[in-house]
Every structure is written in C-alpha cells, then in structure tokens.
Amino acid sequence: MKILVYSFRTFDEKEYFDQLCAKEGFEYATCADYPSVENAHLAKGCDAISIIVTDMNEALLTALAAQGVRYILTRSIGTEHIDMKAARKLGLRVASVVYSPESVANYAIMLMLMCCRKFPYVLDRARLQDYSLPGKRGRELSKMTVGVIGTGRIGRTVLKHLSGFGCRLLGYDRYPGEEAAQLCEMVDLETIYRECDVISLHCPATKDNHHMIHAGTLAKMKPGVILINTARGGLIDTMALIDALESGHVGAAGLDVIENEYGLYYLNHTGEAMNNRELALLNSFPNVIVAPHTAFYTDVTVHDMANCVVEACAAFERGESYPYEVK
C-alpha cells in the first residue's frame, strides 16, 4: 500500500504520518500542492491519495484513476468538494475523517465571546494606545439566547459547553436526537431566527441548505444578531450578509469559513492582490472576524486526521467497510 498525501505539511503532519504508516507497513509520498490534472501523474504507483478541501471534479478524479489510484481519503469531515457521482462511476472508494469535536466547539464559543465583547476592535485600539471606553461596551453571553443549527457531534459539544455560561439554549436539526433534546430546547428554524441573539451554524453543506442564511432569513432575525459560522461557507449568502452588516441589522459575525475559499486558505498570499472582493468587504467591518478556516486546527485533530487516513486505507485493503466511508 502506497499513499500520496497532497497539500502535505511537514511542520505538523509528518510526525503522525511517519508513525502511523510505519505501524501499518505502508509507504507514503508527499506533495505540498493541491491535487490537479497537471500533477496527477505524481500518484502513479499509489493505491490511495489523501487531500484536504479542494475541488475534486470528474476530470481530476479520472486523471487520478488513470494512474491506478483506487482510494480517495479527504482529511476533512465534509465531502461536498468531491464529485461522488464521478467517484462511484470510476470505482473509487472515498472516506472522510472524524476528529475531536471540542476543537471546533471551543473555537465557535471563542468567536461568540470575541464578537460579544468587540474584542478585535478593543485590541486594535489598544495597539494604538487608545485605552478610552467609548465604542467598546460589550454584551454578556450569559444573558443571551443562543441558537445552534445542526446538533451533531460538534453542535452538541457547543451546547454542552454553553450550558456552563447560563445561556438560554435553542437547537434545530433536521434529524433531531434525544441527546440534543436533553441539552437544549429543540425548535424550528423560524423560532431560532426570531428569538436568538447569537446563531451558530454546525451543519454540513448540502444542496438543500446552500445559502440557508440569505436576505429573507436575515430579515427575520433579531436586530443586532451575532452570526457564527465554523461549518461551511456556502451556508451563508455572503452578499446578503454584507448588506445586513451595512444596514446594522446584523450586529457582528464570526466567520471561520467563507464562500469561494478554495485556493485561498492554507496558502501564504502575502503581498498579493487577492481576487476576492467579498473577503475584502468582510475584512473592512470592525465587527466582523474572518478567520482562515482554522477552527479544527489542534494537535489532537491533526493526529486524528492522519490516523483516519491510514485506518481507512488499511480497512479498504482488507476488503472491509470503514465507518467514515462515503457511499
């Protein structure tokens, strides 16, 4: 078994891939770049490739299959970046990963607190030695109603942690479970939009929920609402959010993900003119935090991702099923 790891990071992933592949007796090669039709030839002789979130379209999958690749392992929970119809047609087995939900949950709550307390603005003014109070008065999260949309592993962890803050907690999920119902009051989306001071998104990106936050849903929200997105950028219509920020209807936003982030995050673009006007507009607001898709990024999750890649390859080679295989 040989694995080609695209978008490989020597500074944090290497130690885990070294240990885990050696334990299974696997070989692995690396490429620092995203996979492309142009570099698909690097996968010749490899049984599997591992990727991060990047566009895996039919042309690219076909090029990889032509090199003998049989398995696609994405080092992400979401798989919307992979053309699964094409993968199935080509006979490629695909698997995602699972990792510590605390990583994203903690980050989401950090963004909530930073937005509530206007922390980026406070820090920016302090760097200029402006220690005055005007414009810096925050709000107390403990006195707010927080809505969590998506009560899977991460959403439930957010709810568990927020219970210690004393917030009123509301939750929504298309397929609600008993555990979530014990952590919060499960309601419909209309109630979330109408009653919540903070709304945090924790659902996967699907065709059904693309732009679930749009001009119409934003208009239903409380004036001054705080939006948190550590899930997928496509859940929010960015231009509608910008309009709501400009009007003052949305009080603040903490965004770890944005639309059109492929080819942007995890790369150093210092000194470049970025072809992303929406990002520039979002960065212009003092009440918006745009983080570079790092909510997942801890020592625990980096290990978990590498471990899932190796585990999936081992299971596939044995002809077994894998819990996080994408059908």
**Contacts of the segment 117-121: beta carbons below 8 A, 24+ positions apart:** 118/252, 118/286, 118/287, 120/286, 120/289, 121/286, 121/287
Tokens of 135: 């414009």
Q: What is the pLDDT of residue 17?
A: 98
Q: What is the pLDDT of residue 132?
A: 98
Q: What is the pLDDT of residue 275?
A: 87
- For 146, the enclosing helix (H) or strand (E) is strand 145-149
Q: What is the pLDDT of residue 263?
A: 79
| Angstrom distance (rounded) from CA 6 to CA 8 | 5
Could you tell me the pLDDT band of residue 72, with boundaries at 50, 70 and 90?
Answer: very high
Which whole number is the average pLDDT over 121-149? 97
The model's pTM: 0.91
pLDDT value at 81 more than 90: yes
Active-site option among 75, 156, 293, 303: 293
Q: Which of 40-49, 239-248, 254-263 has the lowest mean pLDDT?
A: 254-263
Are 170 and 187 a contacting pair, CB within 8 Å? Answer: yes
| Angstrom distance (rounded) from CA 192 to CA 163 | 17
Which whole number is the average pLDDT over 32-56? 96
Residue entry with tokens 């698997």: 95
Strands (E), 7-134: 27-31, 48-51, 71-74, 93-95
Q: What is the pLDDT of residue 174?
A: 93
Catalytic site residue 272? Answer: no
pLDDT value at 266 more than 90: no
Tokens of 134: 């005007």
| DSSP symbol at 213 | B
Domains parsed from the chain with CATH numbers: 2-99+298-326 (3.40.50.720), 101-290 (3.40.50.720)
Tokens of 298: 């801890």
| Angstrom distance (rounded) from CA 193 to CA 216 | 11
pLDDT, tens digit, for every residue of 83-121? 999 999 999 999 999 999 999 999 999 999 999 999 999
Q: What is the pLDDT of residue 15?
A: 97
Q: What is the pLDDT of residue 169?
A: 98
Could you tell me the pLDDT band of residue 257, with boundaries at 50, 70 and 90?
Answer: very high
pLDDT, tens digit, for every residue of 313-324? 999 999 999 999
Active-site option among 75, 93, 232, 303: 232
pLDDT, tens digit, for every residue of 273-288? 888 999 999 999 999 9
Closest CA to 116 of 252, 244, 229: 252
pLDDT value at 265 more than 90: no
Catalytic site residue 318? Answer: no
Mean pLDDT of the chain: 96
pLDDT, tens digit, for every residue of 285-314? 999 999 999 999 999 999 999 999 999 999
Which whole number is the average pLDDT over 264-275? 89
pLDDT value at 264 more than 90: no
Tokens of 318: 């044995």
54: left (phi over 0), alpha (psi -120 to 50) or beta: beta
Catalytic site residue 15? Answer: no
Active-site option among 80, 195, 261, 317: 261
Which whole number is the average pLDDT over 6-12? 97
Q: What is the pLDDT of residue 274?
A: 86
